[in-house]
Structures are given as structure tokens and as C-alpha cells.
Amino acid sequence: MKRQMIYRTVASAAIFVVVGFVFLQAADACTRVLWNDSGLNVVVGRTMDWPESTQPEIVVFPRGMKRDGGLLGTETAVKVNPAKWTSKYASMVVPVYGIGTADGFNEAGLAIHMLYLKSTDFGPRDPSKPGVQTGLWGQYALDNTATVAQALALLKKIQPVMVEMHGHKATVHLALEDATGDSAILEYINGKLVIHHGRQYRVMTNDPSYDQQLALLQKMKKEVDFAHPSSNTPLPGNVSATDRFQRASYFSALLPKPKNEREEVASILSIMRNVSVPFGAPYQSFGIYNTEYRTVIDLNIKRYYFELTTAPNVIWADLMKFDLNPGASVMVLNPDNTGLSGNVTDRFHRAEKAPF
């Protein structure tokens, strides 16, 4: 059964015809978990939760890509002072609807993840700052910076510009991490940029805002003994953003030290599957969309793992095996193919038209 048919069956009451980069205001979606103290590599996982196909492809961009941060497909989303740049770093990303980057990393080992946050407010447009339409917020960091610290310094100089289509706004917050294990969460609350910067910020879901999520987690830790887990430990078990945040934090703290990369990736995937939203959680009852795909990034060896929830196969690709020099072809792979399995680096093909 094709992916679109499955999503219509599971969430028929919640399907919207979406054109462009849109995050519907009534939905919580997605989870990100960073593992930066395994003793091996720095790895990060995320889930993408949505009611229909976001048309995910795995795309490799070489260095030297020219970007216009004001473009949204064929439209101009930033009328005044749009940011324009040429990428310094190559990247491997998963676009959303072909016009923005939902998830990905670059050759320096910096990764980004955009997740839904209903309370996002970028504030009124400040024309003194270059503007970047929301879908390219994370890609701007990937193209131009190598570390979390560099990305934070750069992102303070630009302004994300809200994208609105069909009455729905792209309200998102941004997670960053790099190959050293550094981490940051960026949110715009009441028009102000709020940054949580530090290795300790490993888990991110959705609403409420991150400071409130952290407060809820501290309250949970007073009631749940992380140091002495047992099968009787009471854990939030539903699919809300707060439940997923607390459950991901709990099980992440229990992960055993891996012996090799295979165990490390399997461990983080086990967490991402634990906090995924199953097809049996219909939107009309839960107010949350089912998980469309899961990813894991190894930031040290630059490997991207991808798991489509409507397919029984896990695939991966190595960014550093591609030609990343300026002028090289943009390479693309459609993961919606049950014939794919394991290392698919050599299954990419030249893109007829590069996304955004």
C-alpha cells in the first residue's frame, strides 16, 4: 500500500491539502534526541510526524550552491532585504515539500532539525536584518557554519520570516548540534530569540516552550527515580509532546554504553521508535499526527540513516563518499522504495531540478 493511502486511512479526518511549507496550528509533531556522551560518536535521532507525505527525499548539496533566502518555491516570501549567499559547506538533507529543509547535516558535522512549535512568534519584520523564509532557516546554518557556536553567532544576525499559506503558519523551533556534542535550541517567543545552549539540551519535542518543558521534566524527576529504574517506574505513556519529552529523557538516560557504531545507532533508533506516534493514534482523537519517518545522523563519520515508517527497511548513506566540490551535481534518492536496504550511497542519482 502506498504511503499516501496509509496516512489517509489512519488520519482521514485530519488530512489537509497542503501546498508549500506549512505546519498546521493544531498539531504537535516530531521528537529530537541527541546522544553526546556514549563514549563513541555523537549521534542524533529525530521523528517526523505529519498526516500525509511531505515528499521526503534525501538530497546531497555540494559546496557553492547559490541561495536566495526570500524564495518560497516560485514566490517571494521576503520582500525587503532577503538574505543571499553561496554555500561554504556541502550538506545532506531531507526537504519538506521541496522548498525547505526539515532535517540534515553538513560535511563539518553540524546538524539541524526543525520541529513544530505552536507558540512561535518571529515578531514584526525588521528590515535592517537579512530575512530568511522559515523553510531555509536551518539550511542557512548548514550552508555557512561548521559548529553550533558559529551557527548561533550567524543566526542572531538574520531574521526568520514567517511563511503563511492557506491560513496556516510555519511555526517552528530549531535544534542544532555538532560533532563535538555541543547543542542548542532556538525559539522565537513573543518576538524575541530565546537560546538554550549547552550539551545538556539533548531532547526536544514541541509545545509548550522549551523552558516550560524543562520545568516539567524537573518535576517528573522528583517523582521518578532515574537512578533506579524498574518495570514499575511510572512514566508518561501517551503521545503528547510533554509525554514524549519526558519518556525520551528517561530512556536516553538508561542507554548502555555501545561497543560499536552499530549498537550506538540501534540504541538511538530504539528511543526514536519509542516516542513515535503509531498509526493507531488517529488525529481526531489525539490531536497529533502519525510518524512519517525517522532519521539518525552520525556526526563524526557523516552518515545518515533513514527509516520510512511505511516500509520495513532502514537505509543509510555516507556524505563524504559524494563529490562535494563546487559545480558537482546535486544528488537525490527517493527512500520510498522497498527494494532499498542498507548502504544506498551508490543508489543516488543526479537531480533533474535541485530543491529550493
Q: What is the mean pLDDT of residues 319-341?
A: 97
Beta-carbon contacts of 13 under 8 Å, excluding residues fewer than 6 positions away, are 282, 283, 284
Question: Strand, helix or coil at 356?
Answer: coil
Residues with Cβ within 8 Å of residue 31, at least 6 apart in sequence: 46, 47, 115, 203, 204, 205, 244, 245, 248, 272, 275, 276
- Domains present along the chain, CATH in parentheses: 3-207+259-350 (3.60.60.10)
Q: Which pLDDT belongs to residue 25?
A: 40
- CA quadruple 336, 338, 343, 348: dihedral sign: negative
Give yes or no for residue 18 having a pLDDT over 50: no
d(CA 163, CA 333): 27
pLDDT at 5 over 60: no
The whole-angstrom separation of Cα 315 and Cα 305 is 6
pLDDT number for residue 165: 57
What is the pLDDT confidence band of residue 9, given thresholds at 50, 70 and 90?
very low
Mean pLDDT in residue range 169-188: 95
By the 8 A CB rule, do 16 and 185 touch?
Answer: no
Question: What per-residue confidence (pLDDT) applies to 329?
Answer: 98
Instruction: Please report how many Cα atoms fall inside a 13 Å half-sphere around the Cα of residue 257, on the Cβ side.
Output: 3
The mean per-residue pLDDT over the stretch 309-336 comes to 96
pLDDT at 3: 45
Helix, strand, or coil (residue 150): helix
List the grid coordinates of 244: 514524549
* Residue 316 · residue 295 · CB < 8 Å: no
The rounded percent of the chain whose pLDDT value lies above 70 is 90
What is the rounded average pLDDT of the residues 330-335? 97
Q: What is the dihedral of CA 296, 299, 304, 305, to 10 degrees?
A: -30
Whole-number pLDDT of residue 50:
80
Cβ 160 vs Cβ 21: under 8 Å: no
How confident is the model at residue 356, as a pLDDT?
Answer: 87
In this prediction, residue 164 carries a pLDDT of 67
The residues, any chain, with a CB within 8 Å of residue 150's CB and separated by 6 or more, are 110
146 pLDDT above the threshold of 80: yes
Mean pLDDT on 33-55: 93
What pLDDT shows up at residue 297?
98
Q: 132 - beta bridge partners?
A: 160
Residue 155 pLDDT: 98
Residue 28 and residue 287 in contact, taking contact as beta carbons nearer than 8 Å: yes
- Residue 11 clears pLDDT 80, i.e. is over it: no
Set of cell numbers at residue 323: 563529490
Tell me phi and psi for residue 297, to 5 degrees. -120, 130
Q: Which of 14-23, 72-81, 227-236, 280-289 tops mean pLDDT?
A: 72-81
What's the pLDDT at 17? 30
Residue type, 242: T
* Per-residue pLDDT at 27: 54
pLDDT at res. 213: 95
DSSP lists the bridge partners of residue 169 as 164
End-to-end CA distance of the chain: 30
pLDDT tens digits along 267-293? 999 999 999 998 877 766 777 788 999
Phi, psi of 220 (to 5 degrees): -60, -40
pLDDT recorded at residue 84: 98
Q: How many other CB atoms are found less than 10 A from the CB of residue 204?
A: 27
Q: Mean pLDDT, the chain, as a whole number? A: 89
Instruction: Tell me the catalytic residues.
Output: 30
How many residues would you count in the chain? 356
pLDDT tens figures, 245-269: 999 999 999 999 999 999 999 999 9
Q: What pLDDT is attached to residue 168?
A: 55
